[in-house]
Amino acid sequence: MTTTSALPAHDVTDLGLAAEGIRRIEWAEREMPVLRLIRERFEREQPLAGIRIGACLHVTTETANLMLALAAGGAQISLAASNPLSTKDDVAAALVAEYGIPVFARRGEDRDTYYAHLNSVADTHPQMTMDDGCDLVSLLHSERAGQLDEVLAGTEETTTGVIRLRAMAADGALRFPVVAVNEALTKHLFDNRYGTGQSTVDGILRATNLLLAGRNVAIAGYGWVGRGIASRMHGMGAHVTVIEVDPVRALEALMDGFQVMTAADAAAWGDLFITATGNVNVFRREHFAAMKDNAVMANSGHFDAELDLRALREMAEGHVREVRENVQEFDLGGKRIHLVAEGRLVNLGAAEGHPAAVMDMSFANQALSAEYVAAHHAELENRVYVVPDAIDREVARLKLAAMGITLDAMTPEQAAYVASWQHGT
């Protein structure tokens, strides 16, 4: 960690990258009109004045704009990465050198450095947490439990983090209230589906330059992320098969026009395999054994646990090499399997993550949820809360307005009609 008189505490790869980071943060800002409006209001109203926020988020251009909105609202922020491979080093440099925000994140950091960086954020004694995957909350509930009483509340960005938090709350282990930003409709319906859908294709194409048309693509998980990827892959001309464990979602996939298969059947069929389940070892030894030569695998779920990489490494017996940037080849003797972005979130590891226009809504929810918990933490219990409906609707309203779309309003007659029970056949 470095501290100089002019700069905040930080540990980033190269401050010399700041100029490029500034350009890219400003480019993203143009696509984030809702967050801009919130930042302008925060500047006037200071709803986060003096609150120390510890953030564990992907260090991207969009996150940088969220950090600037929170800082405009009066918060003292520090930021660590929520994944070792998702940090954009130029953005980290710009946040430190240009915007004075403490950042602890280096792309490709090892596990020890990742946790050292989370501890650097914990060292700032956050009163509010802003997590993507629950790692900061977990740290504060384990090694750093001594400072839990200082935390007023938190927010959580992603499905996997919300699942972990709900498990903690069910065990009675959660020690402060957390708002599940992922549960906002204006988050998961758009970010998980369209954001991850597009950026997953983007990551795979940047890494491999594969032609998708006519290719067999097997997608595990037909949740919000999986369906976004499936529809984008279909749009690019791929043949899509879905692998599911939930009967309703499998049925949805089928009626959306996709094939549904078991992982075992898909293994021999697929050319490209993508996981988006939030679960572990979805593709494993027996599936790798059945895959074709030149199969490609990528993961878009939160953790790199969706592919059994230990089994893959064992099967390759050391015959692993980098064949392109972000592509490893595992030679299983007689056939090769390719892994994109080390099995970490491919859209962030091999591309830039979600487009800013979609993060505009996710991070508007983050900023407004932070404002909400700053005002209401004393009334909240130590459990997981959904984003208040008023925030969700406000984000949708602002986004539509920014896109120049005007909605109809019900006539008084219609409003009375839908509110009444007397009308029948």
Ligand X SMILES: NC(=O)c1ccc[n+]([C@@H]2O[C@H](COP(=O)([O-])OP(=O)(O)OC[C@H]3O[C@@H](n4cnc5c(N)ncnc54)[C@H](O)[C@@H]3O)[C@@H](O)[C@H]2O)c1
245 binds ligand X (CB under 6 A): yes
Q: Which is nearer to ligand X, 187 or 336 (CB)?
A: 187
Q: Which of 27-35, 220-228, 329-337, 375-383 is the region at the interface with ligand X (rule: CB under 6 A)?
A: 220-228
106 binds ligand X (CB under 6 A): no
One-letter amino acid for residue 332 of the chain: L
Out of 249, 292, 376, 383, the only residue in the binding site for ligand X (CB under 6 A) is 249
Rounded to the nearest whole angstrom, what is the least distance from the CB of residue 353 to ligand X in the complex? 6
Rounded to the nearest whole angstrom, what is the least distance from the CB of residue 193 to ligand X in the complex? 8
* Element spanning 337, H or E: strand 336-340
Out of 8, 84, 197, 221, the only residue in the binding site for ligand X (CB under 6 A) is 221
Q: Which of 28-36, 122-130, 239-247, 320-328 is the region at the interface with ligand X (rule: CB under 6 A)?
A: 239-247
Rounded to the nearest whole angstrom, what is the least distance from the CB of residue 248 to ligand X in the complex? 8
Helix axis angle, 18-30 relative to 89-97, nearest 10°?
100
Binding to ligand X (CB under 6 A) within 12-71 occurs at none
Encoded tokens for 294 = 């030149």
In sign, the C-alpha dihedral spanning 245, 281, 345, 69 is: positive
Out of 99, 176, 194, 222, the only residue in the binding site for ligand X (CB under 6 A) is 222
Measured between alpha carbons, how far apart are the two ends of the chain, in Å?
A: 72
Q: Which of 23-31, 42-50, 298-306, 384-392 is the region at the interface with ligand X (rule: CB under 6 A)?
A: 298-306
CA distance 381 to 174: 10
Binding to ligand X (CB under 6 A) within 323-382 occurs at 345, 347
Rounded to the nearest whole angstrom, what is the least distance from the CB of residue 280 to ligand X in the complex? 8
Out of 52, 107, 188, 287, the only residue in the binding site for ligand X (CB under 6 A) is 188
DSSP symbols for 98-161 = TT---EE--TT--HHHHHHHHHHHHTT--SEEEESSSHHHHHHHTTTGGGGGG--EEEE-SHHH
Indicate the residue whose CB is closest to ligand X: 223
CA distance 192 to 253: 16
Task: Enumerate the β-bridge partners of residue 196.
Answer: none
CA distance 274 to 266: 11
Q: Which is nearer to ligand X, 117 or 188 (CB)?
A: 188
CA distance 62 to 32: 8
Rounded to the nearest whole angstrom, what is the least distance from the CB of residue 354 to ligand X in the complex? 6
Rounded to the nearest whole angstrom, what is the least distance from the CB of residue 319 to ligand X in the complex? 28
**Radius of gyration of the CA atoms of the chain, in A:** 22
Rounded to the nearest whole angstrom, what is the least distance from the CB of residue 295 to ligand X in the complex? 18
Binding to ligand X (CB under 6 A) within 147-166 occurs at 158-160
Out of 60, 63, 83, 196, the only residue in the binding site for ligand X (CB under 6 A) is 196
76 binds ligand X (CB under 6 A): no
In sign, the C-alpha dihedral spanning 357, 160, 189, 282 is: positive
For residues 230 and 205, the answer to whether their CB atoms sit within 8 Å is no
197 binds ligand X (CB under 6 A): no
One-letter amino acid for residue 14 of the chain: D
For residues 328 and 339, the answer to whether their CB atoms sit within 8 Å is yes
Out of 243, 274, 297, 341, the only residue in the binding site for ligand X (CB under 6 A) is 243
In sign, the C-alpha dihedral spanning 54, 350, 165, 358 is: positive
302 binds ligand X (CB under 6 A): yes
Rounded to the nearest whole angstrom, what is the least distance from the CB of residue 251 to ligand X in the complex? 11
For residues 323 and 329, the answer to whether their CB atoms sit within 8 Å is yes
Number of residues that bind ligand X (CB under 6 A): 28
Q: Which of 276-284, 336-344, 363-371, 375-383 is the region at the interface with ligand X (rule: CB under 6 A)?
A: 276-284
Q: Which is nearer to ligand X, 78 or 241 (CB)?
A: 241
Question: Phi/psi at 91 (nearest 5 deg)?
Answer: -70, -45
Write out the residues near ligand X by the rule CB under 6 A: 158-160, 188, 192, 196, 220-226, 243-246, 249, 276-279, 282, 300-302, 345, 347
